[in-house]
């Protein structure tokens, strides 16, 4: 909703700055999108009177105009010749600016004659889209040569572009916004004059109205205006409509748009002479019925659509857009003016199906005020006659149906206070609602009966009334309290785990990618992982399944990066995969892909990413998550290089895959020669995770180092023995690192020597040699008992 500030001030006397007013409206539910000054680029244009118009000596199309500016005369070259001596016109002299040109005007020679600026059209002044000729100003007392045009026409406007919530259709009008501003500033909001001078002829003797679908159209009212003159809409009105985002057309059409913006009631003007009957029939469409709308498009209707017809054919889509067969044009003198209330759901359904969003459909689909239809019609009819310069409004209206009875909602003061957190009595509720023109009466027992007016269709229950009370009182009155809770706060475990995974892989040098959960048949077949779930209504016919693996998604992301010239790509994604079962099995995975150069620059290592880089990222991830002892086993199935791939196992269970993509598969996917990747089932890994590693202070006391070499079976993994050493040494073991592996003489055949550097350290004291010797003895005993290890040296 584009609110013209001067228009608002006609209904409520408020002089606050636009920015402050925007803050007030935001607290009432209308949030500011932008603040605009439509004629901020109009400077220095003045009113001038044409003294003479003559031919250009060197052109058949151009002419010369000599104009009086109040302080002298100037000559300008003009491309059209619609002005005559004595007319008032807008002159942009050298140095002036107009909104449609980026630079100030200057004097320039045109076909051998110097033009001192230019005479302006309505479009050049941003008053309308009319560019057919020079704008001839009305010869009024307050317009004199030399006056600043911007000030003379009141073009120093400010427009607030407001976002209106769908449940507040009353705010889609100047009057509705004025009502809220008046309540917020303790002022009275006035209403526009809706009186109309009527002729002797009865409207019911000229036109008829029949409603065949009262559910879709509970109220239809028609007024008839005859003998409209040919004058133009006043410039001030055209400027106001333009500022509000509506294109001025003619007095009859402009009046309907003006009242729609002012009162919130959409109206439509039909050329009475082009209506058969003449009469109006409101009915449901027949399947396949065609109507050409005002935008020149032929619309095919369905039987759920509501049409406005004459006695022979459809002439408009109810609540959405009129048709060309009854369009008001330059020759229109007699008008049938429609003011109706349509079922919001019907208008919304039709508007969405036809993808036809109009100012009228926005208002009707949210709910207009059925009680305001008669006064809106009267207001528009009076303006048509006033602006066109002639015409007669026929007596009365032709109407069918009426506004529904007002809904009554009971609100309790005790309930209001309980919800808002401060005391509110019944009288206070009555007073607050009265400030926004909602009538409420005391009902006894601390309750009030609220009579909901037609302009507030959103108020249907007690809680809606309570919301209105606090809105009028001000949200700043709500006390700040901590709500009671029986559960302690904190981050959900699954969220904490996902956040930890992201942090670890980012530290490992990877960047996060994100993709949708849909997959093509090729994606599913790339890495078979159970039966895929087919989506009943997929967003793309090429991706009818839910993904069974994250690897296809990160491979697609890799290819997009490579196609855009990336030489080094290291990505990961955390997300869900799906498998068909009863019910559908959903699990969380993490996948990574690395390809291209490991670095660049003079000192960078000259190589490409390989499986060992993926293994390094995986080590950072699993160790940072506190995973148990993990290892790599047999070669996985699928699109992997047989010599550079493995299954990841943790705690004796398979939890994922790591490796390089098979070169043939990479070629099919148009990927680089070497692509390293991994995928881990986070849900399978989760139960095996210990506590996340915690940061600890660096000990103040020095360590004691012992080098321990054990002779063990050649098949024993070094990590198994290292873990046993750490466990046996307990809290005294600060660090344990494998630094040597030896097989061969003097080590017996089938055996090997594993040498570990073990640092012993205590947090509260300096250890003695006796402390370290005792710990070593415990370690040696544990290694011998667990693995048959023999201490070779230590």
175 in the same domain as 28: yes
Average pLDDT rounded to a whole number, residues 585-612: 88
Give yes or no for residue 680 having a pLDDT over 70: yes
What pLDDT shows up at residue 695?
Answer: 65
137 in the same domain as 33 = no
Q: How far apart are CA 217 and CA 400, in angstroms?
A: 9
Pair (582, 658) in one structural domain: yes
- End residue of a domain, out of 401, 424, 452: 401
Same domain, 327 and 219: yes
Mean pLDDT for 17-40 is 91
Structural domain contains residue 694: no
Task: State whether 249 and 286 are in the same domain.
Answer: yes
In a domain, 764, yes or no: yes
Checking if the pLDDT of 6 tops 70, the result is yes
261 closest CA partner among 347, 342, 380, 155: 380
Q: Tell me, yes or no, whether 696 lies in a domain.
A: no
Percentage of the residues of the chain whose pLDDT score is greater than 70: 98
pLDDT at res. 382: 97
In a domain, 669, yes or no: yes
Q: Are residues 351 and 216 in the same domain?
A: yes
Q: Is residue 486 one of the residues assigned to a domain?
A: no
Is 761 among the domain residues? Answer: yes
The end-to-end CA distance of the chain, in Å, is: 84
Q: What is the DSSP string of 659-681?
A: EEE-HHHHHHTT--S-EEEEEEE
Q: Which helix (H) or strand (E) holds 129?
A: none
Mean pLDDT of 758-765: 91
pLDDT at 690: 63
The mean pLDDT value for 481-503 works out to 81
Angle at 534 between CA 528 and CA 537, to 5 degrees: 150
Which of 191, 715, 169 is closest to 459 using CA atoms? 169
Q: Say if residue 230's pLDDT is above 80.
A: yes
Maximum separation of any 2 CA atoms in the chain, in Å: 128
Predicted confidence (pLDDT) at residue 496 exceeds the cutoff of 90: no
> pTM to 2 decimals?
0.66
Cβ atoms of 455 and 443 within 8 Å: the answer is no
Domain boundary among 474, 509, 527: 474
Is residue 489's pLDDT more than 80? no
Residue 377 lies in a domain: yes
**Structural domain count of the chain:** 6
- Asked whether residue 635 falls in the same domain as residue 780, the answer is no
Find, among 248, 387, 397, 388, the residue nearest to 337 by Cα: 397
Model pLDDT, residue 442: 94
Domain that holds residue 258: 198-401
Backbone angles phi, psi at 711, to 5 degrees: -95, 120
| pLDDT of residue 159 exceeding 80 | yes
The mean-pLDDT minimum among 31-40, 125-134, 207-216 falls in: 125-134
In this prediction, residues 207-223 reach a mean pLDDT of 96
The DSSP string of 139-172 is --TT--TT-BHHHHTT----EEEEEE-TT-GGGS
Transcribe 218-251 into DSSP letters: SEEEEEEEE----PPPPHHHHHHHHHTT-----H
Tens-digit pLDDT profile for residues 89-135:
999 999 999 988 888 999 999 999 999 999 999 999 988 888 889 99
Q: Residue 785 is part of a domain; what is its CATH number?
A: 3.30.70.380
- Whether residue 466 sits in one domain with residue 448: yes
Burial class from Cβ neighbours inside 10 Å (0-12, 13-18, 19+) for residue 102 reads: exposed
**Where is the domain boundary, 688, 716, 744?**
688
In SS3 terms, 251-274 reads as HHHHHHHHHHHHHCCCEEEEEHHH
Burial class (CB in 10 A: 0-12, 13-18, 19+), 220: buried
In this predicted structure, the answer to whether residue 505 has a pLDDT above a threshold of 90 is yes
> Does pLDDT of 491 surpass 80?
no
The answer to the question of residue 304 being in a domain is: yes
- Please indicate, yes or no, whether residues 142 and 211 belong to a single structural domain of this protein: no
Shared domain for 128 and 88, answered yes or no, is yes
The domain that holds 23 is classified in CATH as: 3.30.56.10
What per-residue confidence (pLDDT) applies to 694? 63
Q: Which two tokens stand for residue 219?
A: 């109220």
State mean pLDDT over 733-739.
92
**How far is the C-alpha of 103 from the C-alpha of 95, rounded, in Å?**
9
Angular region, 222: left φ>0, alpha ψ -120 to 50, beta rest? beta
Q: How confident is the model at residue 691 (pLDDT cuts 50, 70, 90)?
A: low
Q: Sign of the CA dihedral 117, 121, 123, 125?
A: positive
pLDDT at residue 692, as a whole number: 61
Angle CA(235)–CA(236)–CA(240) in degrees, nearest 5?
115
What's the mean pLDDT when you consider all of the chain?
A: 91
Q: What is the pLDDT of residue 252?
A: 96
Strand order through the sheet with 407-412: 407-412, 447-452, 439-444
Weakest mean pLDDT among 294-298, 376-380, 408-412, 494-498: 494-498
Q: Could you tell me the CA-to-CA distances from 366 to 164, 180, 303, 352, 383 in Å, in that order?
A: 11, 19, 22, 13, 26
Tens digit of pLDDT for each residue in 627-659?
A: 877 888 887 778 899 889 999 988 778 899 999
pLDDT of residue 320 exceeding 90, the answer is yes
Task: Tell me how far apart the alpha carbons of residues 723 and 682 are, in angstroms, rounded to a whole number.
Answer: 24
DSSP strand pairing (321-322 vs 314-317): antiparallel
Report the run of H or E that residue 513 belongs to, with start and end: none
Q: Would you call the peptide bond into 481 cis, given omega within 30 degrees of 0 as the criterion? A: no
Mean pLDDT in residue range 179-198: 93
Mean pLDDT of the region 434-459: 94
φ, ψ for residue 636 (rounded to 5)?
A: -80, 160
Tens of pLDDT, residues 551-568: 999 999 999 999 998 889
Q: Report the CATH number at residue 224.
A: 3.50.40.10
pLDDT-derived band of residue 48, with 50, 70 and 90 as boundaries?
A: very high
Q: What is the CATH number of the domain that holds 96?
A: 2.40.50.140
For the stretch 556-562, contacts whose Cβ atoms lie closer than 8 Å and that sit 24 or more positions apart, written own/partner, are 556/515, 557/513, 557/515, 557/593, 558/593, 558/595, 558/671, 558/675, 559/669, 559/670, 559/671, 562/595, 562/596, 562/671, 562/672
Q: 394 and 432 share a domain?
A: no
Residues 520-555 pLDDT 10s: 999 999 887 788 999 988 888 899 999 999 999 999
pLDDT at 635: 79
Whether residue 139 is found in the same domain as residue 179: no
Six token digits for residue 297:
């498009």
- State the average pLDDT over residues 39-51: 93
């Amino acid at each position: 909703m584009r609110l013209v500030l001067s228009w608002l001030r006609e209904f409520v006397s408020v002089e606050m700055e636009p920015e402050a007013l925007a803050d007030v409206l935001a607290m009432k539910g209308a949030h500011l999108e932008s603040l605009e000054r439509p004629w901020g680029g109009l400077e220095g244009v003045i009113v001038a009177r044409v003294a003479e118009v003559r031919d250009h000596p060197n052109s058949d199309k151009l002419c010369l105009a000599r104009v009086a500016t109040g302080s002298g005369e100037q000559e300008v070259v003009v491309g059209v010749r619609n002005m005559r001596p004595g007319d008032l016109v807008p002159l942009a002299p050298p140095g002036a600016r107009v909104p449609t040109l980026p630079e100030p005007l200057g004097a320039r020679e045109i076909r051998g004659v110097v033009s001192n600026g230019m005479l302006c059209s309505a479009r050049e002044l941003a008053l309308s889209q009319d560019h057919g000729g020079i704008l001839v100003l009305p010869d009024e007392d307050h317009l004199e040569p030399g006056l600043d045009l911007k000030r003379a026409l009141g073009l120093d406007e400010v427009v607030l572009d407001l976002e209106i919530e769908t449940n507040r259709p009353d705010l889609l009008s100047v009057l509705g916004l004025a009502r809220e501003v008046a309540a917020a500033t303790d002022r009275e909001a006035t209403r526009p004059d809706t009186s109309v001078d009527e002729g002797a002829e009865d409207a019911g003797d000229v036109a008829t109205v029949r409603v065949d679908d009262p559910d879709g159209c509970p109220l239809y009212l028609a007024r008839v205006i005859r003998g409209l003159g040919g004058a133009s809409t006043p410039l001030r009105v055209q400027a106001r409509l333009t500022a509000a985002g509506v294109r001025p057309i003619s007095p009859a059409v402009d009046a309907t748009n003006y009242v729609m913006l002012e009162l919130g009631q959409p109206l439509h003007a039909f050329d009475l002479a082009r209506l058969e009957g003449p009469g109006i029939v409101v009915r449901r469409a027949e399947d396949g019925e065609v109507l050409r709308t005002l935008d020149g498009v032929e619309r095919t209707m369905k039987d759920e659509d509501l049409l406005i017809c004459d006695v022979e054919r459809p002439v408009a889509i109810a609540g959405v857009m009129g048709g060309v067969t009854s369009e008001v044009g330059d020759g229109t003198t007699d008008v049938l003016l429609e003011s109706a209330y349509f079922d919001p759901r019907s208008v919304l359904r039709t508007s969405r199906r036809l993808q036809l969003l109009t100012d009228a459909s926005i208002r009707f689909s949210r709910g207009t005020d059925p009680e305001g239809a008669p006064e809106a019609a009267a207001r528009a009819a009076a303006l048509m006659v006033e602006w066109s310069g002639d015409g007669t409004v026929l007596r009365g209206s032709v109407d069918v149906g009426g506004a529904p009875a007002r809904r009554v909602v009971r609100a309790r003061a005790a309930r209001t206070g309980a919800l808002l957190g401060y005391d509110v009595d019944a009288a206070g509720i009555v007073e607050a609602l009265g400030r926004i023109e909602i009538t409420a009466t005391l009902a006894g027992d601390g309750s009030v009966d609220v009579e909901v007016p037609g302009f507030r269709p959103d108020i249907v229950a007690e809680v809606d009334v309570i919301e209105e009370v606090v809105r009028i009182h001000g949200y700043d009155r709500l006390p700040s309290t901590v709500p009671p809770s029986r559960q302690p706060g904190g981050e959900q475990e699954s969220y904490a785990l996902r956040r930890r995974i992201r942090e670890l892989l980012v530290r490992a040098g990877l960047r996060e990618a994100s993709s949708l959960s849909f997959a093509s048949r090729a994606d599913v077949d790339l890495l078979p992982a159970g039966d895929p779930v087919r989506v009943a209504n997929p967003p793309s016919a090429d991706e009818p399944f839910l993904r069974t693996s994250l690897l296809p998604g990160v491979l697609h992301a890799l290819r997009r990066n490579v196609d855009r010239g990336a030489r080094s790509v290291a990505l990961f994604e955390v997300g869900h995969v799906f498998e068909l079962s009863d019910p559908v099995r959903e699990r969380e995975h993490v996948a990574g892909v690395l390809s291209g150069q490991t670095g660049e620059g003079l000192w960078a290592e000259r190589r490409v990413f390989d499986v060992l880089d993926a293994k390094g990222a995986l080590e950072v991830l699993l160790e940072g998550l506190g995973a148990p002892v993990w290892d790599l086993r047999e070669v996985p199935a699928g699109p992997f290089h047989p010599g550079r791939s493995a299954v990841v196992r943790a705690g004796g269970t398979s939890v994922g895959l790591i490796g390089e993509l098979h070169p043939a598969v990479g070629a099919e996917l148009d990927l680089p020669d070497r692509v390293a990747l991994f995928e881990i089932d986070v849900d399978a890994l989760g139960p095996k995770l210990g506590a996340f590693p915690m940061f600890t202070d660096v000990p103040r006391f020095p360590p004691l180092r012992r080098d321990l070499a054990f002779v063990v079976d050649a098949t024993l993994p070094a990590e198994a023995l290292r873990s046993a050493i750490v466990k046996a040494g307990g809290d005294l073991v600060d660090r344990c690192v494998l630094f040597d592996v030896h097989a061969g003489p003097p080590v017996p055949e089938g055996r090997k020597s594993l040498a570990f550097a073990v640092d012993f350290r205590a947090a509260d004291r300096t250890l003695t040699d006796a402390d370290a010797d005792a710990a070593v003895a415990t370690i040696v005993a544990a290694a011998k008992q667990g693995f048959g290890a023999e201490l070779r040296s230590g």
